A and B are shown apart, each in its own frame.
Chain A
Amino acid sequence: MLNLRFMIKVLALSFSALSILISSIAQGHHSFEMFDRDNPIQITGEIKEFQWVNPHTWIQIMVNEPATGELVEWSIEGRSPNVLVRRGWTRNTVQPGEQVTLTIYPLRNGDPGGAIITIEKADGSIINADTPTAVDTDEEGPR
């Protein structure tokens, strides 16, 4: 079981917040149906690589499997640089060697991968990685 292998916590997100996340992530380059968006999880580990590339950014993160002590590399898919840069990100927002906790929608097939929601850094700060895409108009008033 995924949650036994990695001591993953199921998040208690409200239905409304989840709906917003789902609706925003549904846009884009390909279907996101392979992610289990009903059961977000958390993984903790060290960033191996942050790929600042289109059509999706990728975080490669080494996660310790408590049951075996084995380090497993997870591939976490994120929004494109074009979306993130308009929300204040740069290619250095996430750096190799950082210890972070990622909240993700895991892959349904159980492989070590998922789609990112938030990043919690070592200092406790949390970055919303599932930022609204350019379709959102919240910054423009009551549209």
Chain B
Amino acid sequence: MKAHEKYEVFIGLEIHIHLKTRSKMFCSCKAHYGDEPNTNVCPVCLGYPGTLPLVNEKAMELGYLVARSLGCKTAERSSFARKNYFYPDMPKNYQISQFEEPVGTDGAVEADFGGGASRKIRIHDVHLEEDAGKMIHAGDVTLLDYNRAGFPLLEIVTEPDLKSGEETEAFLRDFQRLVRYLGVSDGNMDEGSMKCDANISINLPGKGLGTKVELKNMNSPRFVRLALNHEIIRQAEVLDAGGSLVQETRLWNENRDITEIMRRKEAADDYRYFPEPDIPPFFPDEAFLEKVENGMVELPLEKKRRLHSEYGLSREQAEFIHDEAETAHFFEETVKSGASPQQAASWLSSDIRKLLNRENLSLVESPLTAGRFSSLLKLINDGRISGKIAKKVLEKIFKDNLDPETIVENEGWSQISDPVELTSLVEKVMKENPGVVSAVRAGDVRQKGFLMGQVMRYSDGKAAPELTGKILDEKLEEKE
């Protein structure tokens, strides 16, 4: 029997995201990556004596926004606390965090596990805090960069409601989409703007939670899945062999695809939380709550379902279109200006996607606007260009940043749909290929394609395909 069949699995997450604010959580230093070490620092974020924290209200707003989107009860009174522990990269040796009165508590969010399976995942709380600096060990010295110290962080703690690595990966990808839709964070695990630690325990069904193991150092949703699945099997093997599990923290080793012990937890860490005396409690007023409300958008899962139900997109298409908010927006704009949803979706998920990948552009950055895309589709549907020409027009839009009509006109790519012109082309091709013509007339209809191809070649692909086919058929039926 497989591990996840014999045992019940409990997975909870602690997700940290860097909030996209201009300045740090408690001072006016730039919250910016990639600058020279120790340039975005001041006496406040370096923890000089006598300095005091000043709450970044934008971060507060984004915190409430995420809490609201995760179905949390948002705090009528929110306050900060000091979390005490010593670490060389932490300037004050306490982290200003939230403990008793976080911005959000008791949430629940529906997670879509694919194939129609979905479940509510409960959110324990959402709280604001500050990041620490960065320690770099170089030979026998240790270097410290405090640019990141004081970055606004939002931590989301789930209840242990996830059941497998696959579910957790899907949940994390949903969550990434959520924070990107809201515009509160980049949500990139490899770049460090999002971090995820997991706790996992297994037990015989009905026995409740098992011994909790904390997993760290997983730098992508995929690694989270691999680490959890590895851990489920490892824990099951220990139990199957009659052993017992130890409460500990383990690190994912992505080179060896295993988890390795980092430290045992004999007793729970004692952070000696107490209320932050430097920051008075925060009571959101109406103006603040209105700002939060204005930040709300249609969430990814709702969007995906609506794409499916309203436009009749397949699950795969909806999955692709909703993945990025800008794609979904682009899609809906295109449809609004008259394009067919199916057609728009299939162009978006094939040719346009390929071009974007090749040019390494996002839709917003690209010269293709919803208006241009819509007129391109209209040119096809009006029979003015063929699908093949449309692909060339698309390339040109990316290259020259011009409207499709202009390109078609400049390049003379309008489809030939004049019957006289097409008839003369067809006659020319038949005359040049008497053998093929005879063969078709003798019943080898497969060779008709060759004749069509030749017409296309002479017309630079502009011959209206349907009409050309009709004329060719007529001509082939005529006896000499």
Indicate, yes or no, whether A interacts with B. no
What is the interface of chain A, defined by CB distance below 8 A to chain B? none
What is the interface of chain B, defined by CB distance below 8 A to chain A? none
